[in-house]
Amino acid sequence: MTKRIKPSRSFASDNNAGVHPNILRAIAAANSGHVVAYGADPYTEVAVRKFREHLGNDVDVYFVFGGTGANVLGLKAATENYHAIVCAETAHINVDECGAPEKFTGCKLLAVPTQDGKITSEQIRPFLHGVGFEHHVQPRVISLSQCTEMGTVYTPRELKTLSEFAHRNGMLLHMDGARIANAAVSLNVELKEITRTAGVDILSFGGAKNGMMYGEAVVFFDSNLSKEFKYLRKQGTHLPSKMRFISAQFAALLSHNLWRTNAERANRMAQVLARELEKIPQISITQKVQANGVFAIVPPRYVPVLQKKYFFYVWNEETSEVRFMTSFDTREEDIKDFVALVKKTLK
């Protein structure tokens, strides 16, 4: 028998949370009998239908194991290896994917500096000078994260401006939507408004951070881009044989507003956490709290002390900026206990 592990709580990542009970129930419900493997099953059919209800009848949806895979394969579908992908310096594809986007697409990433994780078309314009010039990589995709890695959120208008800029200049808009649900809740809009309506071409749709066990989706809003994707997914080792268990999770997440309920809770808890931390004079909040991330400067000597009890990540070693994340299962009492410890430690 495995020794029982005592559950603990943390503010390290929404990936550190468990699985929402409705999702677990959906997995259990899918666990009966045999179905055809690799996606030709009724659970996948239902899940794809759910995606179409939310994002439009003509979207092409492909399930994959994880978010890095979704980003890499989505970008691969849109590029040749002489292309460039423009993204924020802070983008997950730029800092947290071990060079996988460069390795698998062969593209150069052109990373632009940003204070708040967001990029603007003005920052991308200088890269257009090399278009058509054979000595330069050719900018092909703007990749942005919604929410950003700094916990901020693009408005529908900002997204539209970026997509129009991309399309005017022969580029595509890719969205890393690992936290797309948190963004939609933050803006109080439907998922469609910040994807299809905003002009996104390819979307990595996150599941794990919003209460699923694992699984993400690559969504194409233009079927010309997805024509050969099934080969890329298999070759890229992201074709799940028992796909029904990812599909069943997505079907549950996209039903009865579970995606929204989970993200609402996470976002609300981030507001509570930020409000409490703001009251502590030695701590300063560094980013707008728009979704489920709280960024703050904590004096460096206290960081390891706090991390012992509640693990969290230091985002910037130089400035001692740390990241606290809330999730669908964060409770007010978790925040109360954590803030009490912070106050005691920093006294």
Closest-approach residue to ligand PLP (CB): 67
Nearer Cβ to ligand PLP (149/334): 149
Other CB atoms within 10 Å distance of the CB of residue 345: 17
Determine, following the binding rule CB under 6 A, whether residue 178 of this chain makes contact with ligand PLP.
yes
Nearer Cβ to ligand PLP (176/201): 176
Radius of gyration for the chain, computed over Cα atoms and rounded to the nearest angstrom: 20
Binding to ligand PLP (CB under 6 A) within 208-267 occurs at: 208
CB of 294 to ligand PLP, least distance (A): 15
Residues 6+ apart with CB under 8 A from 37: 241, 242, 243
CB of 178 to ligand PLP, least distance (A): 3
| Dist CA 72 CA 57 (whole Å) | 25
Among 41, 60, 158, 176, binds ligand PLP (CB under 6 A): 176
Binding to ligand PLP (CB under 6 A) within 33-72 occurs at: 66-68
End-to-end CA distance of the chain: 44
ω into 107 cis (within 30 of 0): no
| Dist CA 331 CA 328 (whole Å) | 9
CB of 128 to ligand PLP, least distance (A): 26
Determine, following the binding rule CB under 6 A, whether residue 329 of this chain makes contact with ligand PLP.
no
Determine, following the binding rule CB under 6 A, whether residue 109 of this chain makes contact with ligand PLP.
no
Nearer Cβ to ligand PLP (79/292): 292
Strands 313-316 and 321-325: antiparallel
Binding to ligand PLP (CB under 6 A) within 299-318 occurs at: none
Other CB atoms within 10 Å distance of the CB of residue 5: 6
Binding to ligand PLP (CB under 6 A) within 141-160 occurs at: 145, 149
Residues 6+ apart with CB under 8 A from 15: 208, 209
CB of 280 to ligand PLP, least distance (A): 26
Residues in the chain: 347
| Dist CA 296 CA 280 (whole Å) | 11
CA distances from 227 to 221, 224, 231, 346 (A): 12, 6, 9, 57
Nearer Cβ to ligand PLP (68/163): 68
Determine, following the binding rule CB under 6 A, whether residue 140 of this chain makes contact with ligand PLP.
no
CB of 68 to ligand PLP, least distance (A): 3
Residues that bind ligand PLP (CB under 6 A): 15, 66-68, 92, 145, 149, 176, 178, 208
